[in-house]
Chain A
Amino acid sequence: MRTWGSMEEFEAFLDAGGIVEVGDDMPHEYRQAVFAFIEMHANSELMGGLTERDWIPRTPGLRHKMSVLAKTQDEIGHGHLLYMVAADMGIKTRTEMLEDLFAGKSRFHNVFHYQAVTWGDQVAIAFLVDAAALASQQAVFKNCSYGPYRRILKRIISEEGFHMRLGEDRMMRIAEGTEAQRKLFQDSLDRWFWPALQLFGPDSKPNDKLLRWHIKSERNEVLRDKWVQKFVPMLHSYGFTIPDPDLRFDETTRKWVLGEIDWEPLKRTLANGGPDSTRRISEARDNYERSGWVREALAQ
């Protein structure tokens, strides 16, 4: 077990590229911050799977449904792995994390506080949201100082890449499809563009501990901008409209510039007050409680 005499010594270790392992005597603040970050990631993978499950039975096509099932299996599998990594940190057990999630006491990503109301939403999630999540995860993996999380992220990122490509492929079919399909996706884009963008969060604070401790390697605004520069022209090329009347192309910087971002919806979701937060959490809690006899029986 490694130990450090002070926070300065620990931070110097991290700055030199040091990797912290689960058995190390890491500073309490670091342990708490890493745990909270991984717990939220785990919760988000699980709640993301629940958002998608609403439309799995309605997937249009037999083999298509197999692909969508495999994707959701991956997402829940990511949650499964991440809960183990988080539990190993000795702050909460997996059961405690799940019970906190279902009691509305812990957080998950903003996008999963919204309901997928059409099949177009399902595609928009796979295309826009998974891409945003992947970009965030890649930035964490690049320089992550917590070894167990970094190793799990390698697998998660490789699978999320397939999800994004599945979403892209489905979006392209719709883009090249009928008018009804194109309208369906445009409506979904109107609903999901801003939540997907807000997944990156507001601009990072100057003293962001997650950056200082090499959990994150990129500032939120940098990642957000990269996503905008990739997806705005791509969506335009398929004939879709970005739901931002103030969107413009800056000829000087050769970059797309969005209008002002309204962060209020993000704040509401972080307080579990998003458009679908109540239903999402209460349904998950009800299902969990209904099946308590199974867990009780197996524990005997």
Chain B
Amino acid sequence: MNDLPPPVVDYLLAIADDKHLMGQQHAEWIGVTPFLEEDLAFCSIGQDELGHAAHLYALLAGDDDTAIDELAYRHEPGAYRSCWFVERATPIWAEALVRHWMFDAADQLRWSLLAGSSLSALADLAQRVEREERYHRLHSDTLLDGLLASPVAAEPIGAAVTALAPFALTMFEPVAGEPDTVAEGVAEAPFATQRDAWKQRTEARFAAACTIDWPDDPPYGDNRTTRSADFGPLMARMREVIDLDPSAVW
């Protein structure tokens, strides 16, 4: 187990849980995206996100599959620190694509705050994550460039942006431990300091599809300690095999 202060654990768990559930959500799309190349891209990006989550869980629990899976699957719901945006079920592909772009745009800003972290393993991980994430961004931007050049795509993409915008702001909801984490030098600044920059990028990206009406009161979850309605079914699905026999090694 790590010897990190509890606020830092709280903070890192939020990033890990976000990455984990984002990777899980991408994995749900394998084989059913609009064309084969997209199946391959979502598969690859999903693996990267799960890999980032595994690295972060390993910082917290040690580099052991059982310990990592304990954090990933066996917490009580209130112990997770995921935002509601990544918990949300997206049975519509336009929403999956828009979330992919929104999450990765925010992720770039989030990890930029960790590049100079006092926690050297985290600073090293920030470099690796950025090497992979730039391809994720290239993927979603290239696809959106193509789609938004056509009037056919404006309505479904616009509807997806409108549906997701309130939930997307939950990415910036802090955990209780964030102020102490910043004070320790683990993160350069609170993540919410990047929110306006992200909103501007998002408005510019989707200007061809819609005008975004940001809510004043996003559906925050008490410093990420309460779960959204979609979390239960999602976690039940993720734990279905594990729960068959809690003592089993698969």
The answer to whether A and B interact is yes
Name A residues whose Cβ lies closer than 8 Å to a Cβ of B: 46, 49-50, 53, 56-66, 69-70, 72-73, 76-77, 79-80, 83, 119, 170, 173-174, 177-178, 180-181, 184, 284, 287-288, 290-298, 300
Contact assessment for B47 and A61 in the assembled complex, using a CB-CB cutoff below 8 Å: no
Q: Can you identify 13 A-B contacts, CB atoms within 8 angstroms?
A: A60-B69, A62-B57, A62-B73, A69-B46, A69-B50, A70-B43, A72-B31, A73-B39, A76-B31, A80-B40, A119-B244, A177-B249, A294-B35
Question: In the complex, what distance in Å separates the CA atom of A217 from the CA atom of B34?
Answer: 37
A58-B241 in contact (CB<8A): yes
B-chain residues with CB within 8 Å of residue A65 when the two chains form the complex: 24, 27, 50
Give Cα A177 to B246, complex, Å. 12
Q: Is the CB of B30 within 8 A of A76?
A: yes
Which one of B3-11, B148-156, B220-228 contacts A?
B148-156
Partner of A294, one of B34, B54, B57, B149: B34
Residue in A49, A62, A292 whose CB lies within 8 Å of B54? A62
A297 touches B152 (CB 8 A): yes
Asked whether B30 lies within 8 Å of A69 as measured between CB atoms, the reply is yes
Closest Cβ–Cβ distance, residue A86 to chain B (whole Å): 13
Assess A58 versus B238: contact at CB under 8 Å? Given A53-B30, A72-B43, A76-B31.
yes
Which residue of B47, B53, B248 contacts A69 across the interface (Cβ within 8 Å)? B47
B17-34 Cβ-contact flags toward A at 8 Å (1 or 0): 000100010011011111
- Report the number of A-B residue pairs with Cβ-Cβ less than 8 Å: 139
Chain A residues lying within 8 Å of B46, measured Cβ to Cβ, are: 69
In the complex, the answer to whether A76 meets B20 with C-beta atoms within 8 Å is no
Is B72 an interface residue when CB atoms closer than 8 A count as contact?
yes
* A58-B237, A177-B249 as given contacts; A184 in contact with B244, CB under 8 Å: yes
Contact yes or no, B50 A77, CB < 8 A? no
Residue of B nearest to A181 (CB): B248
Contact residues of B between 152 and 172, Cβ < 8 Å to A: 152-153, 156
For B227-240 the 0/1 string (1 means CB < 8 A from A) is 00000000001101
Establish whether residues B43 and A73, one from each chain, have CB atoms under 8 Å apart when the complex forms.
yes
Assess whether A297 is in contact with B57, with CB atoms less than 8 Å apart: no
* Cβ of B204 under 8 Å from chain A: no
Q: Which of chain A's residues have a CB closer than 8 A to the CB of B250? A: 60-61, 64, 119, 170, 173-174, 177, 181
Task: Kindly list chain B residues whose C-beta atoms are within 8 Å of the C-beta of A288.
Answer: 34
Residue of B36, B152, B247 most packed against chain A (CB within 10 A): B36
**Lowest 7 A-B CB distances belong to which pairs?**
A291-B34, A297-B150, A294-B34, A73-B43, A297-B153, A60-B241, A60-B250
CB of B207 within 8 Å of the partner chain: no
- Among A56, A180, A296, max chain B CB count under 10 A is at A56
Q: How far is the CA of A174 from the CA of B249 in the complex (A)?
A: 8
Q: How far is the CB of B60 from chain A (nearest CB, A)?
A: 13
Interface centre among A49, A58, A119 (most CB of B within 10 A): A58
Interface assignment of B44: CB less than 8 Å from any CB of chain A = yes
Known contacts A63-B65, A119-B241: A76-B36 contact under CB 8 Å: yes
Contact: A180 with B245, CB < 8 Å? yes
Distance of A62 Cα from B248 Cα, bound (Å): 15
Query: Which A residues are CB-close (under 8 A) to B69?
Result: 60-62
Q: Smallest CB-CB separation from A179: which chain B residue? A: B245
- Using Cβ atoms and an 8 Å threshold, which residues of chain B touch A294? 34-35, 93, 147, 153
* Supplied contacts A56-B28, A184-B244, 7 more A-B pairs, CB within 8 Å: A59-B241, A61-B65, A62-B57, A70-B47, A77-B40, A170-B250, A297-B149
How near does chain A come to B31, taking the closest CB pair, in angstroms?
A: 5
